């Protein structure tokens, strides 16, 4: 069977900079990005002209850049667009990893394009990519808050049980990224979207 190849040149992990935001629900995307960097020996270092932490390496022979925009979530798109303009990376060559309120902890979805689901980071990226939504997203579930206090929820840290579910999901997501570069998008998507937390 033919490999349904996609060319991913940039993987973005969304979050907020600063120690007070480390490992909060809103930073689940960048937490995953660091795990990905560790797996493939890609170090993230400050890069002023792109307003972020940037790493470059290879995944199964493919040159890939990892980016954590340090502009704060609402301005993530400025960092992404600056890098894409410099390296001539197209929206469909980008994978954005981000938190998702509509998925419970441990659940994930890998998809191409679609709506923004009220996510300010995605909104900023879309606006700065000439309103293109044609990029891949790895949606990592954080669940909805028990009350309507969304800001306190996303800026808080998961409890122990939720963190275990999230950590287990990371392992499958790492395998899916591997599969994305070796077997294609369909198998990677099937692995992510078919995953059920224990």
Binding site feature residues: 21, 72, 74, 120
Transcribe the chain into DSSP letters.
---B-----EEEE----SGGGTT-GGGHHHHHHHHHHHHTT---EEEGGGTEEEEEEEETTEEEEEEEE-S-GGGHHHHHHHHHHHHT--GGGEEEEEEETTS-TT-EEEEES---TT-HHHHHHHHHTTT---SEEEEEE----SSS-HHHHHTSPP-HHHHHHHHHHHHHHHHHHHHHHHTBHHHHHHHHHT----
What the block records as the tokens of 133 is: 């939504």
Query: What are the binding residues for tRNA?
Result: 21, 72, 74, 120
- Active-site positions read 26
- Per DSSP bridges, beta strands 136-141 and 52-59 are unpaired
């Amino acid at each position: 069977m033919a490999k349904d190849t996609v060319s991913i040149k940039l993987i973005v992990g969304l979050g907020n900079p600063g120690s007070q935001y480390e490992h909060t629900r809103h930073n689940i995307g960048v937490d995953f990005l660091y795990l990905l960097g560790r797996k493939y020996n890609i170090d993230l270092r400050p890069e002023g002209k792109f307003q972020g932490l940037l790493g470059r390496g290879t995944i199964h022979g493919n040159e890939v850049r990892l980016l954590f925009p340090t502009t704060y979530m609402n301005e993530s798109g400025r960092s992404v667009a600056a890098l894409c303009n410099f390296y001539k990376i197209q929206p469909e060559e980008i994978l954005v990893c981000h938190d998702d309120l509509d998925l419970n902890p441990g659940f994930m979805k890998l998809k191409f394009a679609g709506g923004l689901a009220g996510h300010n980071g995605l909104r900023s990226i879309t606006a700065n990519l000439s309103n293109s939504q044609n990029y891949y997203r790895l949606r990592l579930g954080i669940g909805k808050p028990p009350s309507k206090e969304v800001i306190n929820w996303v800026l808080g840290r998961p409890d122990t049980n939720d963190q275990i579910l999230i950590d287990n999901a990371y392992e499958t997501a790492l395998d899916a990224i591997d599969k994305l570069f070796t077997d294609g998008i369909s198998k990677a998507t099937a692995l992510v979207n078919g995953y059920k937390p224990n």
